[in-house]
Amino acid sequence: MDDKVVIAKRVALELRGGNLVNLGIGLPTTVARYLPAGITVHFQSENGIIGMQPVPEAGLENEFLTDAGGGPIGAVAGSAAFDSCMSFGLIRGGHLDVTVLGGLQVDELGQLANWMVPGKMVPGMGGAMDLVSGARRVIVAMTHTAKGEPKVLKRCTLPLTSVRRIDLLVTELAVIEPTEAGLLLREVAPGVTTDQVIAATGAKLIVPDNVAEMAIGL
């Protein structure tokens, strides 16, 4: 199974019926495809919609119906569209239950860097800083390494998105929970050992005696 599919499926299991959830650009947007059966989640995008869903089938894309990254989306019956002021009022007002964001780095303090790489062209910081600060729960969905280098580090070397500690990190190798004491290894992916996770991580992990196998649904 593709690494990013593993991540998206595992993150989907964290969502609860009735949640208002923001999905970040890229990998996080795919989480909507893997909701468990019978669960209704209200997906929000900061460009101004609640009720987005994946495009039902090829050919139904609409240039005026996109997510925050400009990707085509569908809309469920009863969805709502509004301006950026309303959208960020929801985010900054603490009304989002969960935000799922991509990441460039996460460190031992549970801090996230995900909005820029110094010296590279970026279109802007987007809504990431508001989302990390305003959502009740912050889940980061990212690959564990990039070009063989760890993305989970002792300290972030890239500009921080927020000083707030995220609530959960899901990679293709593991589920890690940042805590007051440090990074707690909660789960490892099927076929992955604890030693492999430790070797791919540039930060100290708290490893319980028994680490569960990651559930990724059907």
Q: What is the pLDDT of residues 29-62, one digit of tens each?
A: 999 999 998 999 999 999 999 999 988 778 888 8
Q: Would strands 174-179 and 182-188 be described as parallel, antiparallel, or unpaired?
A: antiparallel
HSE, side-chain direction, 13 A CA sphere, residue 160: 14
pLDDT score recorded for residue 123: 65
Contacts of 200 (CB under 8 A, 6+ apart): 144, 145, 150, 173
Structure tokens at 118: 């110094």
Alpha-carbon Rg for the chain, nearest whole angstrom, is 17
Q: What is the mean pLDDT of residues 166-193?
A: 98
Q: Which of 83-97, 123-137, 145-159, 175-189 has the lowest mean pLDDT?
A: 123-137
Is 46 among the residues known to form the active site? yes
pLDDT score recorded for residue 217: 65
| Residue 13 confidence (pLDDT) above 60 | yes
Mean pLDDT of the chain: 93
Of the residues 46, 108, 172, 187, which is catalytic? Answer: 46
pLDDT score recorded for residue 119: 77
Q: Is the separation of the CB atoms in 181 and 203 below 8 Å?
A: no
